[in-house]
């Protein structure tokens, strides 16, 4: 990258903005709620969890911060039970 030394040190020594600090706090609360849900809650449920805790945050902000920090809900696909499997097994036992 083409960055001047003075520009780099100016960036390095600037304090973190209040909004950035607030976002960091919200991300920590999102991670805590996400772990409590066994990593199954998406942004709508995390939003409702934070709202129940009294955190003032919007659904879009929760979704944006989850996406930015690579926090995604894990889910498993539930397979439907095959109805004909029992019939086949009973026929095999009979014959």
Per domain, the residue ranges of the chain are 13-75
- The distance from CA 29 to its chain's CA centroid, rounded to whole angstroms, is 11
Rg (CA), the chain: 24
pLDDT number for residue 76: 78
Residue position matching structure tokens 């989850």: 66
What CA–CA distances, in Å, run from 39 to 3, 32, 43, 79, 83?
40, 10, 11, 20, 32
Q: How far apart are CA 35 and CA 29, in angstroms?
A: 10
Q: How far apart are CA 41 and CA 23, in angstroms?
A: 19
pLDDT number for residue 21: 97
Q: What is the mean pLDDT of residues 22-26?
A: 97
Residue position matching structure tokens 């020594």: 13
- 3-state secondary structure at position 58: coil
Global model pTM greater than 0.95: no
Q: How far apart are CA 56 and CA 5, in angstroms?
A: 40
* pLDDT band per the 50, 70, 90 thresholds, residue 13: very high
pLDDT number for residue 29: 98
């Amino acid at each position: 990258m083409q960055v001047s030394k003075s520009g780099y040190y100016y960036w390095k020594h600037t304090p973190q903005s209040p909004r950035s600090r607030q976002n960091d706090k919200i991300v920590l609360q999102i991670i805590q709620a996400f772990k409590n849900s066994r990593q199954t809650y998406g942004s709508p449920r995390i939003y409702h969890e934070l709202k129940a805790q009294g955190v003032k945050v919007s659904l879009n902000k929760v979704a944006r911060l989850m996406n930015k920090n690579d926090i995604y809900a894990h889910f498993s696909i539930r397979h439907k039970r095959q109805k004909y499997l029992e019939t086949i097994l009973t026929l095999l036992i009979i014959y």
